Amino acid sequence: MPRVLLVEDTPDIALWLAAALRQSGLEVDIAPDGQQALARLQPGHGWDALLLDLQLPGLDGLSLLQQLRQCGDTVPVLVLTARASVPDRVLGLNLGADDYLPKPFDLSELEARLQALLRRPGRSAAPVLRNGPLEMRPDSGEVLLSGQPLAVSPREAAALRVLLESPRRTVSKEQLHQRVFADDSAGLDAVEVLIYRLRRKLEAAEGAPGLRITTFRGMGYMLTVDAGAA
């Protein structure tokens, strides 16, 4: 499923819009402000599109957009905002927005514009994520272990993606919770349960000697591979 990051600070609008887009077959995550969005848009983030409100607390949408483009990030950006004047639209497009939809908008128009961005020719595919014998194809979400498909749930795949995107770095329990359970009422304990299940699957799978999820007490988790498994 295409992955879309929705940056919207009004909770009711964010939850409604995310639910509607998931119904249309998209994977949607929500960032409630510009700083949290920027944290999720680090190099190698793998998002296929960004739905961006301009009026955000802290780091506003135009500043976020400007920083992305200055860093060479070409993720398609559809701006959603009540600031519908021509100068605002021109400024957003000049800063690198791909499309602009003023509020209030019709959901069917938003879906059509978003799908057009996702179909745009030349949109580069996210690179395959690898660590030892484990690899993930971000565009499809497929997980392979020594070249063979590994059966994982969507949340397990999401957790593996976060770990694979942070090679040789620990990922805190809070970071995993934010990325995997962002729109869920589950507590931090759910991360421990999820990691436990993933460990069991990796231990039981053939072709994964030396591959493990290591816990660094007080810091978080890291995918580690013994020299023989790499």
Helix (H, G, I), strand (E, B) or coil at 3: strand
124 is a domain residue: no
| pLDDT reported for residue 195 | 92
Q: Is residue 168 part of a domain?
A: yes
What token pair was written down for 24?
């249309």
Q: Domain boundary residue among 92, 119, 146?
A: 119
Q: Are residues 13 and 111 in the same domain?
A: yes
- Tell me, yes or no, whether 199 and 159 share the same domain: yes
Answer with the one of 91, 119, 147 that is the final residue of a domain. 119
8: DSSP letter: -
Task: Note whether residue 230 is domain-resident.
Answer: no
Same domain, 10 and 46: yes
Q: How far apart are CA 152 and CA 42, in angstroms?
A: 25
Give the structural domain span for 61: 3-119
Residue 66 lies in a domain: yes
**Cross-strand pairs, 30:** 6
- Could you read off the pLDDT tens digit of each residue along the chain, which spans 230 residues? 789 999 999 999 999 999 999 988 889 999 999 999 988 887 778 889 999 998 898 898 889 998 888 888 889 999 987 765 666 667 777 788 898 888 888 888 999 999 999 887 655 455 678 888 888 876 556 788 888 888 888 788 888 888 888 877 888 988 888 878 765 677 888 899 999 999 888 888 765 667 888 899 889 999 888 765 44
Q: How far apart are CA 59 and CA 53, in angstroms?
A: 11
pLDDT for res 151: 85
Whether residue 150 sits in one domain with residue 168: yes
Q: Find the CATH number of the domain harbouring 152.
A: 1.10.10.10
Whether 140 and 114 map to the same domain: the answer is no
Q: Given the structure tokens 């810091």, which residue do they identify?
A: 219
pLDDT, position 230: 47
8 and 114 inside one domain: yes
- 102 strand-pairing partners: 81
Domain count for the chain, please give it. 2
Give domain status of residue 85, yes or no. Answer: yes
